[in-house]
Every structure is written in structure tokens, then in C-alpha cells.
A and B are shown apart, each in its own frame.
Chain A
Amino acid sequence: MDALISGFLNPTILAEAAPYLLRGLVMTLGLCLVAIPLGIAGGLVLALASTARHRWIRWSAVVYTDLFRAFPPLVLLLFVAFGLPFLGVLLPPIVSVSIAFLLNTSSYYGEILRTGIESIPRGQTEAARSTGLTRWQTLRHVVIPQAVRNMTPDLISNTLEVAKITSIASVVALPELLYAARQVQSVTYNATPVIAAGLIYLILLWPLVRLLSRYERQAVSIR
């Protein structure tokens, strides 16, 4: 038990690691604040593109979505981080990380928003259009308000995933929470910082997990 505490929850090492972890946490929160809104905005563009009249716009939205959903996020990240410099594009790590996250998360949000929009029966769109609403008004006042209700659990689930995925930025040495923890771990030869980082993620994301469970249960109990 003593070995467990000194190895995993060592107070001395925790005190030493705290400032680094805190700085890492700030970076992680910053990444979330970049990746989530950018991803939702990109996803919205994709979802709207998939309702477009021109076939090639619809198709390119589908190709984009499928392509970037097929890549594991870490693969995208390494490709962007290691590949771009060869094109002479030297970006600060935070920017290349953000680009990789945008490509990945927008495709997921896009798929959720698209299926949400498609879950509203065509008849509603036709009825709204025949009463004289424009395409945009139909989308805004009829389709989206109903679609949002259907999509909420998936949006929460995806947002949880995005928040967790920010941890892979540690692989390209962006000093976020996990990276900071591993740095301190490698200096102190003690696992406490990594365990602490895990606990911080848990505290941060636990409300989202609970919310998700509630929605999942509601979704099935209606039937």
C-alpha cells in the first residue's frame, strides 16, 4: 500500500509537478476552446454543403467526411506535423495541431449534423417551402430546431471525444496536460504526475459523461 502511494500518489512529487500540470491544463483547455468551435463550424459548413443543389458540392462534402473519418486522428496529426515542413510550411506546433483537429473533428460533427438534418422528414421541408419560406428560412425555422433535439446526445458524445483527443497533441510535443505530466514523470521516475493528469481529465470530463448517460437512457426510454 505504501509502495502504491509513493509510486502513484506521491505528495512531494505532486507538489513539484503541480505548476507544470496547471500550465498543461491551461493549454488543454485552450485546445478544446479552439478545436470544438472550429469543428462545429466546419461541420455545419459540411452539413449545409450536403443539402446543396449542385451535385458536385454534395459529393465533395461526402468525400471529405468519409476521408477524414477514416483516418485515426493521430495519423492526421503526425502527417500534418511532420509533412507540412517538407512543403516549406513551418507552423508553430499549436497551429499544426489545430489544423489536424479541424480536419478530423469537422468531419465527425459534419456527419452528425447531416444525419440530424436528414432525420427531419422531407414533407416538412416541402410544406415549409410551399408556404413561401425560402430555403434558408426553412432550414433555420423548421429543420434545424427539430434536428438539434435529435442530435444532442451525439453532439455531447462527440464533444467528449474531441476533449479527450486533445491529449494526442502530446505526441508532437505540444505542452498540454499529458505532455507536461510525462515530462515530469521522466524527470522524477515516478508515475504520480501521469496519474494526476488522469484524475484531472476525469474531473474535467465527468459531467459530460454523466450527461451523456442521461441522454442515452432517455433516447431508449421513449420507445
Chain B
Amino acid sequence: MSALVDTFFNLAIMRQYLPQVVQGMGVTVVLALVVVATGIALGFLLAVLRSLRWRPLNVLIVLFADVFRAVPPLVILIVIYFALPGIGVRFSGFASAWIGLSLVLAAFAEEIVWAGILSVPRGQWEAARASGLQRGQTLRLVVLPQAARLTVAPLTSRAIVITKNTALASVVAVGEILYQAQAGYAFSYNPSPLTLGAIAYLILFIPLVWFGRWVEARYAVRPAGVR
């Protein structure tokens, strides 16, 4: 038992690597915030553009959404960080993670918001247009407010998923929690820093898991949330 504690909960080692892991928590939080903000904004924008129903643009949007929903986020990060420099496009690890994860979230968000827009009956568009509102006004004042309610639950669970995907940024050398924990593990050759990292994730994500479940229940339009 004491061997187990020494290996996984070695306090001396944990104390030594605590500052790095705490610093990693800061990076994880910042990365998650910028990704969620960028991804959802971009997803919204694409869904609104799609509602203009201009065919060539729609084909491109659907293609974008399909590609970034089908290809694993880790592959996308690796392409941005390790492959793009081959054609002279170079991003830092943080920028790669930000761009890659935002694009993935945007793809899912676009589909969710678009489904929300479609859910508003056509008659509402027609009535709003007939009453003299312009297209933009109809969208902004009539359609989107109604669509928004439907999208809250799935958008929240998607945002939570992408937040967890920030751990992938460790692969492209972003100093977030997992990266720091792994570095600590490698230096000390003891898994206690990994335990510390796991605890850091629990502190950040257990409240998110509960928040997600609450949103699900509050705004449920279907029985269970997407992952």
C-alpha cells in the first residue's frame, strides 16, 4: 500500500511539480475559452451564411462541416502543426491548437445552429417577410431567437467536448495541464505528476460535466446529449 502511495501520490514529487501543473491549468482554461468563443462564433456565422441559400457557398459550408466532423481532431492538429510548415505556413503550438479545435467546434456548431434554423417553420419566414421585415431582420429578430433555444443544449455539450480536447494540444507542445504533467513524469520517472494532472482535470471538468447535465435537463429537446 505504501508503495502504491509512494508511486502515485508521492507528495514530495507532487509539491515539486505543482507550480507547473497549476500554470498548465491556466493555459488549458485560456485555450478552452478562446476555442469555444471562436468556434461557436464561426459556426453561427456559417449557419447564417447557409441560410442565404446560395448554392456554391452552401456546398462549401457542407463540405467544411463534413470534413471537420469526420477527421479526428488530433489528425487536424498534426496537419496544422507538422504539415503546414512544409508549404511555408508556420503556427505556434498554441495557435495550431486554437485554429484546429476552433474549426472542429465550428463544424459541429454550424450543423447544430443550421438544424435550429430549419426547425423554425417556413410560415414564420414568410409572415415576417410579408410584414415588411428584410431578410436580415427576419433572421435576427424572428428566426434566430427561436432557433437559439433548441441549440443551447447540444451546443453546450459540444463545447464541453472540445474543452476536453484541449488535452490533445500537449501533442503539439502546448504547455497545458497534460503537457506539464507528462514533462514532470518524464523528469522524475514517477507517475505522481500524472496523478496531479488528473486531479487538475477533475477540478476543472467535474463542474463542467454537472453543468452540462443541468443544461441538458433545463433545455432538453431530446433525451440525451451529444458527447
Task: List residues of A whose CB falls within 8 A of some B CB.
Answer: 3-4, 7-8, 66-67, 69-75, 78-79, 82-83, 86-87, 108, 111-112, 114-116, 118-119, 147, 150-151, 153-154, 157-158, 160-161, 164-168, 170-171, 178, 182, 185, 190-191, 194-195, 197-198, 201-202, 204-206, 208-210, 212-213, 216-217, 219-221, 223
Contact = CB atoms under 8 A, between A and B. Distances in A.
Given A161-B161, A164-B73, A219-B115, A70 B209 contact: yes
The dominant DSSP class at the B interface is helix
Interface in B204-227: 205-206, 208-210, 216, 221-227
Interface of B: 4, 7-8, 66-67, 69-76, 78-79, 82-84, 86-87, 111-112, 115-116, 118-119, 150, 154, 161, 164-168, 170-171, 178, 182, 185, 190-191, 194-195, 197-198, 201-202, 205-206, 208-210, 216, 221-227
A178 B8 contact: no
B185 A198 contact: no
Contact of A115 (B72, B167, B198, B216): B216
18 contacts: A71-B198, A72-B201, A78-B178, A118-B223, A119-B224, A150-B222, A154-B226, A161-B161, A167-B74, A182-B78, A182-B82, A191-B83, A194-B83, A197-B75, A205-B70, A209-B69, A219-B115, A219-B221
A70 to B, nearest CB: 4
Given A7-B87, A69-B209, A72-B167, A210 B66 contact: yes
Contacts of B171: 171
Given A79-B194, A154-B223, A212-B69, 6 more contacts: A75-B201, A116-B224, A119-B223, A147-B223, A150-B224, A217-B118
